[in-house]
Amino acid sequence: MTTIPQQIIYVAARMFEWRLTDLAGGNISVREGNKIYISARFSGSKKHWQLSDEDIISGDISTDALLEHPRFSREGRAHLAIYRTFPDVGAVIHAHPFHILPFCAAGRSMEPVLEQTEKFGITPLLPYAPAHSPKLAENIVAGLRGREDAIRKQAAAVLAERHGIFVAGKDLWATIDALKRLDWNAWCILAQNSLPPAPAHLAS
Ligand SMILES: [Zn+2]
């Protein structure tokens, strides 16, 4: 693929199309050296995830200069904290996925139930902190700590209560792939509640 902003634009459109986020929020960022590229504030509510080059903000990771940018995403603070703490993270996605939000609403961590999600381990529910707060960024970093191997392999994620998911991965493709797998994992847990017992001749 082409430039980093174009890659983010592509992933943003797919993320919305696949119901991995809603119009209320979410953000996608990529690290290149000491630079972060991130989808702008209101990408969902005002742009419906149809982004163009001017909707991708960039700036230094090591300073707080971006926090003053009028279009810097309110959850961008968490992205910066993740990049500063984990040198192997190449991309971060925050999202409000259709099948994962029930876990956030219920205040419940999510266990892997598929072979394809085993490598992420348990996706823990973080202690509550309000959206956009420095405390939430702190909790996200704490929830990812000790999971560097999973990040180097693909990604690790945490759940914010009554809010959504944060996924940190080795690159953008690994990260959107992890988000999609975790959403299907969530669906498999939810669906088991509506699955009737197997008829006698199929019971093992
Ligand atoms: Zn959010």
Predicted confidence (pLDDT) per residue in 113-146, tens digit: 999 999 999 999 999 999 899 999 999 999 999 9
pLDDT, position 145: 97
Ligand 1 geometric centre to CA of 131 (Å): 7
Ligand 1 geometric centre to CA of 15 (Å): 14
pLDDT, position 203: 76
pTM for the whole structure = 0.95
Kindly list the domain boundaries of the chain, sorted by start residue: 4-190
- CATH hierarchy code of domain 4-190: 3.40.225.10
Ligand 1 geometric centre to CA of 60 (Å): 22
What is the tens place of the pLDDT at every residue in 176-192? 999 999 999 999 999 99
- Helix, strand and coil in the chain, % to nearest 5: 40, 20, 40
Report d(CA 109, CA 115) in Å as an integer. 18
Instruction: Give the mean pLDDT of 39-61.
Output: 95
Q: With pLDDT > 70 as the criterion, what percentage of the chain qualifies?
A: 99
On the question of pLDDT at 15 being above 70, the answer is yes
- Mean of the per-residue pLDDT values of the chain: 96
Ligand 1 geometric centre to CA of 1 (Å): 27
**What is the strand order of the sheet 35-39 is part of?**
56-60, 35-39, 27-32, 91-95, 164-169, 155-160
Instruction: Give the mean pLDDT of 31-59.
Output: 96
CA angle at 165 for the pair 65 and 27, rounded to the nearest 5°: 40
pLDDT, position 138: 97
Ligand 1 geometric centre to CA of 191 (Å): 25
